Structure 1
Amino acid sequence: MNQHDSRRDAGGGSTAHYQQSLAKDLSPFTLFAVAFGFVSIATGIFTAYGSVLNSSGPLGIWTWPIVVIGQLAVALVFGALAARVPITGYAYQWVSRLANPVLGWILGWISFTFLAVVVVAVDYTIASTILPVLLGYEGTAANAWVITAVVMLLQALLVATSTRATQRVNNGAVTIQLVGMIGLVVLLFGVGFATGDFDASNLFSRGDVPAEGYFAFGGASEASPWAMGFLLGAFTIVGFESAANLAEETKNPAYVVPRAMYRAVITLGILGMLFLIAVTGLSGDPAALAGSATPIADVITNVLGSFLGKAMLVLVVISIFSCGLVITLSGSRLIWAMSRDERFPGWQAFHKISPARGTPMNATFMMFVVSQAVLGVFAFSTDALFALFSAATLLPAIIYAATVALYIVKRRNLPPTRGFTLGRWEIPVLVVAVVWLVWELLIFRDASFRASWNYVAVMVAIGAVYFVYLLARKGVSGLTMPDMESIDATLDAEPETGEHARHSR
């Protein structure tokens, strides 16, 4: 391992004693596209909208702005950390250095289990909620399994073959998604108002959900209908931190990565709310729509007609494929980062970079194999999509809560940075993040999330077995990490040619 090389990176930051082994050529737009592509409102809303209609009714869409504000606060905290430790591995690296390597490994493993399940949830959406409408066939558990497996294979092959090709595909897909989603929203509103089909009363309807106890807190093992509505935004507005997982491949990561994260959350938050209002206002009978396996696709085709509606669904397929691609990319980098520190099972194979491709091919293959195993476990569940998306919402909530808690405890000990800082907004941002994350985690006491907790328990148990072996082999003293360096000290050591020189180097 070339772990203790203090080589300085091209962006004026530091690889914190790691030798630069990945190409450093990702642009600010590419990082924004990574964060935007992972969050992907098309993916999240198509996946979770039907469940929210059933649990909360159309009124549940108004939880979206609250989630956006909460997740924006989390993104800002993550940005402050990414600016100080711009290293591949994000939360795993931050916690390992700010707390200790044991907690860092635990959070790294939880992050891995999240990426392994969320890529399945995302790609399963294509097979179960879009392609049956787009291609006119009856969706079954068997064909959804096969189609999802093929989609994940294509994504893994692309990520393993070329990072440059992957970023080009994602950049193009994100551009299509951004332009296409804006166009779709405009079309839905335009046609809806022109035909008189837009029904504003739907926006405040509970559908078939009873009014009694709707806004209540709920019981010890039951969340209220209103609370369940938060899952729509909580599942969708996640993954912005994937930009931090490409820090070592980014020019000037201390400046670029934080901005990519919070700009993606803001952009997607606004666009997603407009899309939800348009779809819900045009849903016709919300109670009837709640019974559909493909509610969003049904609304689009009903409003825009078969040809234009299917063209918009092709756009959504591209968006979702892009989302799964970014998740596969992020997962392969996390496996590689943990393997570089000899912390991942089979690290001897997974820390290698392909000389021909310049990618962590073995780590990408591992990501593919594990996600296929997760798909096999969930594929024939009676409610596979709900189980997948709820597990993929619970895990990032745990990761975000642990990381924010660590920031609160260690914020006085962080090295300074010129890349990004919360400044006088630090305390308000932390308060919003904490309140939001506590509320989100309380939702998961509901009994309907039993399968999600079971997945977490099984994956944690698998990780615990390996970690016991790791401790027995190395001991706690053998898990030390390279020290954090002050990014300012590195920047001060380099001459600046102008006011913004550090941002362009």
Structure 2
Amino acid sequence: MSQHNTDSDELARFGYEQSFERRTGKFASFAVAFAFVSIATGIFTTYGSVLNSSGPLGIWTWPIAVVGQLAVALVIGSLASRIPVTGYAYQWTSRLANPVLGWIIGWISFMFLAVVVVAVDYTVASTVLPVLLDYEANGFVTWAVTAVILLGQAALIGSSTKWTEKVNNAAVSAELVGMVLLTVLLLVVAAIRNNMDFSNLWSRGAVAAEGYWSFGEATSAGPWMLGFLLGAFTIVGFESAANLAEETNDPERVVPRAMWQAVLASGVLGFLFLVAVTLAAGDPVALAASGTPIADVIKNTLGPVVATLLLLLVVLAIFACGLVIMMTGTRLTWAMSRDERFPGWRQWKKVSPRFGTPLRATLFYVVLAEVILGLFSAFSEDALFTLFGAATLLPAVIYAATVALYLTKRRALPEGGKFDLSGWEKPVLAVSVVWLVFELSLFRDASFRDAWLYVLVMVVIGAAYLVTLLATRGRRALDMPDMHSIDAAFAQKEQS
């Protein structure tokens, strides 16, 4: 029996027929996870914020965040291997906990994906393209450019999954090679020119020494603690590979590996790049005042030509990041609609016979993204930080819920399989729980007020729909197809 037929049979055990062509291989799956993480996007976006909140010393929070997120990725990988179905956290929670909680997690995941694609594309329109093309980024221009980028990504996703993956594979390859070369060039050229300042690695910049290491107060986090937002914002989205499970060959093995490899590769390469930039930063206090600190360091060290090439690389990486986010969001919308559990599900559950994509779900998703973009641009004085805050907060909530689910249901999961934590399960769980509790505590800071407001508004909208669904169709409206236990599914697979 071919791998394709085996994967289709596995999907049938969860009550679904094969709707997409399985064309996603090992590198494409890794590329999806790596593109969502996108260290070029995350570091370019948040490095300046870290200089202002924590000083250069804040980069040392990165390795801790990498270890924490790697532990989370291993836990999620174990779930993805056992329930290889599009919808990731929504499917896992619905089947291992209950359909109501699964719907809530699915809605929170949808909230995250809807806002983070806007945050990513807004970054390129507000901080990268103005420098690259030498124009003034006022509110209207930034809104217009972001809107066009969103439309371009939707057009590609809606018309061809094959070409979407080709574009993403090329972008990820360029980002990997480009970031390695850039890091090496920074270190070598700065050393040759004697421009390396090792004291920068231990500098607080303009941040006061008093209370620097403190955990903070009830509504504020300490300066060094805020540095963790660099890793918390960047090293997320690796689970996007699991949302293409029904389009991936041998997803039980390929998807978990893609997730932890993307986190590890991003973590190591990202930290080396952070160290290189910080060593060549010159005066960190002056650099903190810049709106594009990474580009400034590259330009001062390697010259304007390399700086321009860097910006082109960043534009490509950010476009690919937004592309993968939108593709993940459309798949989640489609998956919840297939189960008749998403507003307007009759329209969004259809797969285009011409393109083989969830075209209508893609159109819905991009329209919603445009609305969110308009609202944030119109009502937020600092739209980028607000989007950044919401895009950092929501994945932490999703990861915490997923790890809690695994923690309570791990004994119900079958032993072994294609990806299993085995004897590492308890230490990995301990690390992931400690990390997520700490990470969530950072969002008590008053600067995340608008981000919490976005979450509150979206939760209210979701709750209203959930109540309406239950009132009109009853508890059975939230039933999932083939809701047998995961143990029974695997027992049946082994017998066959």
TM interval, shorter chain, is: over 0.9
Q: How does 1:144-223 map to 2 (within 5 A)?
A: 144-223=142-221
Shift of 1:13: 3.3
Matched-pair contact (CA < 8 Å) for 1:64–1:273: yes
Which residue is equivalent to 1:141?
Answer: 139
Shift of 1:124: 1.0
Which residue is equivalent to 1:338?
Answer: 336
Q: 2 CA distance for matches of 1:184 and 1:424?
A: 39
Which residue is equivalent to 1:500?
Answer: none
Q: 2 CA distance for matches of 1:265 and 1:12?
A: 30
Q: 2 CA distance for matches of 1:455 and 1:195?
A: 48
* Residue 366 of structure 2 corresponds to residue 364 of structure 1: no
Which residue is equivalent to 2:353?
Answer: 355
Shift of 1:379: 2.0
Query: CA 1:386 to 1:14, structure 2 compared with 1: closer, same or farther past 3 Å?
Result: same
Which residue is equivalent to 1:68?
Answer: 66
Shift of 1:8: 6.2
Which residue is equivalent to 1:13?
Answer: 10
Matched-pair contact (CA < 8 Å) for 1:58–1:203: yes
Q: 2 CA distance for matches of 1:141 and 1:232?
A: 25
Which residue is equivalent to 1:275?
Answer: 273
Q: 2 CA distance for matches of 1:139 and 1:417?
A: 54
Of stretches 483-492 and 256-265 in structure 1, the one that deviates more from structure 2 is 483-492
1:492 aligned partner, one-letter code? E
Q: 1 CA distance for matches of 2:358 and 2:104?
A: 22
1:29-60 Cα deviation digits (max 9, x unpaired): 10000000000000101111111111111111
Matched-pair contact (CA < 8 Å) for 1:51–1:386: no
Matched-pair contact (CA < 8 Å) for 2:219–2:444: yes
* Residue 407 of structure 2 corresponds to residue 411 of structure 1: no
Matched-pair contact (CA < 8 Å) for 2:86–2:335: yes
Q: 1 CA distance for matches of 2:490 and 2:254?
A: 16
Which residue is equivalent to 1:439?
Answer: 438
Shift of 1:192: 0.9
SS in 1 for 2:171: helix
Question: How many pairs align?
Answer: 488
1:204-246 Cα deviation digits (max 9, x unpaired): 1111111111111111001000110000000000000000000
Matched-pair contact (CA < 8 Å) for 1:14–1:485: no
Which residue is equivalent to 1:480?
Answer: 479
Which of these residues, 38, 41, 54, is aligned with residue 39 of structure 2?
41
Unmatched tracts of structure 2, length 5 or more = none
Query: CA 1:282 to 1:11, structure 2 compared with 1: closer, same or farther past 3 Å?
Result: farther
Which residue is equivalent to 1:312?
Answer: 310
Q: How does 1:32-111 map to 2 (within 5 A)?
A: 32-111=30-109
* Residue 425 of structure 2 corresponds to residue 423 of structure 1: no
Which of these residues, 351, 370, 376, is aligned with residue 374 of structure 2?
376
Q: 1 CA distance for matches of 2:362 and 2:190?
A: 44
Of stretches 231-240 and 466-475 in structure 1, the one that deviates more from structure 2 is 466-475
1:163 aligned partner, one-letter code? T
Q: 2 CA distance for matches of 1:491 and 1:318?
A: 42
Shift of 1:104: 0.4
Matched-pair contact (CA < 8 Å) for 1:96–1:105: yes
Identity %, equivalent residues: 62
Shift of 1:478: 3.1
1:387 aligned partner, one-letter code? T
Of stretches 484-493 and 303-312 in structure 1, the one that deviates more from structure 2 is 484-493
SS in 1 for 2:270: helix
Q: 2 CA distance for matches of 1:399 and 1:443?
A: 16
Which of these residues, 492, 495, 501, is aligned with residue 494 of structure 2?
492
Q: 2 CA distance for matches of 1:59 and 1:485?
A: 46
Shift of 1:416: 4.1
Q: 1 CA distance for matches of 2:123 and 2:86?
A: 28
1:374-414 Cα deviation digits (max 9, x unpaired): 11122253222111111100000000001101111111112
Q: 1 CA distance for matches of 2:259 and 2:420?
A: 14
Q: 2 CA distance for matches of 1:369 and 1:419?
A: 39
1:136-175 Cα deviation digits (max 9, x unpaired): 2222222111111111110010000000010011011111
Which of these residues, 247, 254, 257, is aligned with residue 256 of structure 1?
254
1:453 aligned partner, one-letter code? W
Matched-pair contact (CA < 8 Å) for 1:14–1:490: no
Shift of 1:203: 1.1
Q: 2 CA distance for matches of 1:14 and 1:136?
A: 51
SS in 2 for 1:379: helix
Shift of 1:179: 0.6
Which residue is equivalent to 1:4?
Answer: none
Q: 2 CA distance for matches of 1:470 and 1:338?
A: 13
Which residue is equivalent to 1:292?
Answer: 290
Q: 1 CA distance for matches of 2:275 and 2:495?
A: 52
SS in 2 for 1:83: helix
Q: 1 CA distance for matches of 2:423 and 2:10?
A: 24
Structure with more helix by fraction: 2
Of stretches 374-383 and 425-434 in structure 1, the one that deviates more from structure 2 is 374-383
Matched-pair contact (CA < 8 Å) for 1:84–1:417: no
Q: How does 1:387-406 map to 2 (within 5 A)?
A: 387-406=386-405
SS in 1 for 2:425: helix
Q: 2 CA distance for matches of 1:11 and 1:281?
A: 51
1:265-291 Cα deviation digits (max 9, x unpaired): 000000000111111111111111111
SS in 1 for 2:7: coil
Query: CA 1:96 to 1:109, structure 2 compared with 1: closer, same or farther past 3 Å?
Result: same
1:75-117 Cα deviation digits (max 9, x unpaired): 0000000011000000000000111011000000000010011
2:7 aligned partner, one-letter code? A
2:447 aligned partner, one-letter code? S
Q: 2 CA distance for matches of 1:400 and 1:116?
A: 17
2:304 aligned partner, one-letter code? S
Matched-pair contact (CA < 8 Å) for 2:281–2:297: yes
Which residue is equivalent to 1:502?
Answer: none
SS in 2 for 1:418: coil
Q: 1 CA distance for matches of 2:139 and 2:377?
A: 6
SS in 1 for 2:311: helix
Shift of 1:298: 1.4
Query: RMSD of aligned C-alpha atoms?
Result: 1.4
Shift of 1:311: 1.0
Query: CA 1:468 to 1:488, structure 2 compared with 1: closer, same or farther past 3 Å?
Result: closer
Q: 1 CA distance for matches of 2:201 and 2:152?
A: 39
Matched-pair contact (CA < 8 Å) for 1:12–1:490: no
Normalising by structure 2, what TM-score?
0.96
Matched-pair contact (CA < 8 Å) for 2:11–2:17: no
2:50 aligned partner, one-letter code? V
